[in-house]
Amino acid sequence: MDTPAPEGFHMADVRRKRPTPRRAVAVGELHAGPVGFAALRDRRLPKGDALAMAEVAGIQGAKQASMLMPLCHPLNLEYVDIRCVLVPERHAVRVYCEVGLEARTGVEMEALAGLNAALLTLYDLTKPVEPALALAGMRLLFKEGGKKGLWLHPEGLDDAERAHYRPRAAPRLDGVPVLVVTLSDRASAGAYDDLSGPAAVRVLEGLGASVRQALLPDGIEPLATTLATAAAEGVRLVLCTGGTGLGPRDLAPEALARVASRRVPGLGDLFRAASSAHTPLAWLSRADAALVGESTLVILLPGSPKAVTQGMAILAPLLAHALAMVAGEAHP
């Protein structure tokens, strides 16, 4: 029996991904020993100032990541910073490489390439006085951006690293009462399972919200009544999926208009503009947002699970700020 040939290598296809701000920080150490550390610290190595040269080499290394690793996307980096911190108790230099830009793909490999270039330069300049050098602890410290947001290495960050880099997660919604409403004649009749509502629930519960769900048929009356009731019950956020297209039963915007006290048109505009990076069909969406009563924010998104996932990635960073504004609370 013939063994199937392995699939060919290929770059990840990011053409339909939405550009987002990306940041990654990598960290590692050179252990130089007492003699090497003293010469490095005092900037008296034979080849020159290793700390200064490591900064230059690290920046160059980050920019060359796609030349070194064939499946990396070439990226026009917007920011690279190399930071060398002396650690006398270990006779070590702890090196950080921070990389940032707005792009469709992450910059982890660029941060790691810059880190390694900086560490190898320290090694090269220090080895004439101390050949027994070691590189240790090289890893990605954290990354930000994209659909998954903030990721932290399981070993974590110490207080100084957190204070310096301030990794940014989406603001949380701890304990905020949220209602997720799916609008679908067929799903409400049991013809198929609702996948859109659960996709929104996963994101909102991940932010700490207290979420309950409702499944309604399309049309104006069911949604208008549900929104008015939610506002009267003190629900802070209602996320609706479905009913925002151009079909004859896509009436979610009309239902919202019936009970809205103030429109928030920018959220719908943001969704369409950002989603158009995935598909031009986003411009046909009637996604919308408004306040119902004094303090309930209602957001209407399309009904496909993919659109909901994309919409939550776009809007999640704004939700806590928006709800604080609605409540008249202090907000950054």
Parse the chain into domains and list their residue ranges: 20-165, 177-326
Query: Which pLDDT score, from 0 to 100, does residue 331 have?
Result: 61
**Which residue matches tokens 């990794």?**
167
**What letter does residue 148 receive in the DSSP assignment?**
T
Residues linked to residue 24 through DSSP beta bridges, in sequence order: 99, 143
Query: Which pLDDT score, from 0 to 100, does residue 207 have?
Result: 92
What fold does the segment set 20-165 form as a domain? Alpha-Beta Plaits (3.30.70)
Count of beta carbons in the 10 Å neighbourhood of residue 8: 5
Q: What is the pLDDT of residues 196-218, one digit of tens each?
A: 999 999 999 989 999 999 999 99
Q: What is the pLDDT of residues 27-83, one digit of tens each?
A: 999 999 999 999 999 999 999 999 999 999 999 999 999 999 999 999 999 999 999
DSSP collapsed to 3 states, 96-128: EEEEEEEECCCCHHHHHHHHHHHHHHHHHHHCC
Query: Which pLDDT score, from 0 to 100, does residue 2 have?
Result: 59
**Active-site pick, 2, 13, 49, 124:** 124
Q: Could you tell me if 287 and 297 are in contact, meaning their C-beta atoms sit under 8 angstroms apart?
A: no
Whole-prediction pTM: 0.75
Concerning whether 124 is annotated as a catalytic residue, the answer is: yes
Q: What's the CATH superfamily of 177-326? A: MoaB/Mog-like domain (3.40.980.10)
* Proportion of the chain in helix, strand, coil states, percent, rounded to 5: 40, 25, 35
Instruction: Give the residues of the chain that fall short of pLDDT 70.
Output: 1-6, 331-332
**Which residue matches tokens 């919202």?**
256
DSSP-derived 3-state class of residue 150:
coil
Estimate the crossing angle of helix 196-206 against helix 305-326, to 10 degrees: 40
Query: Which pLDDT score, from 0 to 100, does residue 3 have?
Result: 62
In this structure, the dihedral spanned by the alpha carbons of residues 87, 88, 93 and 96, taken in order and rounded to 10 degrees, is: 10
Q: Could you tell me if 285 and 245 are in contact, meaning their C-beta atoms sit under 8 angstroms apart?
A: yes
